[in-house]
Structure 1
Amino acid sequence: MQIERLSPIVATLKPSNHPYLSGPWTPQHEEVNAVDLEVIEGAIPADIDGVYIRNTENQIHTPLGRHHPFDGDGMLHQISFRNGKADYRNRFVRSRCFQAEQQAGESLWGGMMDGPEVSKRPGFGAHGGIKDSASTDVVVHAGKALATFYQCGEAYQLDPTSLEDQGV
């Protein structure tokens, strides 16, 4: 197996004992490509040809207020299957809010359990009072992976094979 680590993102989150920021909920901040994954037992059928994609939340910066798991930025994880082999890649969804916080180097919005006064900027989720993290849903339609936040945010398009960002 070969692993390629992409350029790091700006992250300010420190280790924590918060139940949704530690243990199995510990955020992942690294984007990678892993080629030719090792099959531990059995074999991948040679006729499987496609991708499996899931969306997760990964908190990048120290929360401004209380933290809910849905507050983290969207990260798509993809496993592609072809000719009895599997490859893995993951990418943050480059939402407008992700990009603004990367530029600022800190959290700019409170979370789902906070009031609007916690945010340093007006909200964006569904153009309302919370951050649009594109972190809860993903569907593939018309050859595009579409990531959204709680079915109310803008749809961010990614190529389902490469996870290359294709905008709103």
Structure 2
Amino acid sequence: MMGGFPIWRFLGLAGLAIAIGALFGLAADRFHQKAKADAAVACDKAASAADKPIDACLPKVRQAIEAQRRAEACDHALGAPDLIKSRAAIRLVCSAEVKREFLARELAQGELAQANETIAALIDAQDLAVLRAETRAATANQKAQAHAQTIARAPRDAGSLIRCDASCLRDLAD
């Protein structure tokens, strides 16, 4: 007993004060946790739409969402049917590795187009060469037939040797 105040009352009041303090602490923590949960829900809603600001999110979550949004924008730009028009978007939102690969692909496509043009030119030149060779062969064949006819028409002597006069020689010279 402490000067007319029993110890059990003191301990009871101290316990009551501790309990009330704990309740206030739990209530404050509950409100703090509720605020965090509300912020997480708001962050989730903002993250689900690409046009909504993500200010409610924690910094690390915000960085991850921004990276995801840039990756999606990059995928969209790379998947566009006209990559020439989407070059600016690719340069703006894609990572350095993607930009390098995109430029390498463009370079390879340019080289492929140039190689295809060279192949087409070579095929055209080959076709012309074949046409010239066929024309020469046809002309040579016609000349050979004409020469054979000239020789067949040429007069022969008693020993069956061909006697070719000036007109026969002119026909064979053509």
The TM-score by the shorter chain falls in which range? Answer: under 0.3
Between the two structures, name the one with larger relative contact order (CA 8 Å, sep ≥ 6).
1
Structure with a larger share of its residues in helix = 2
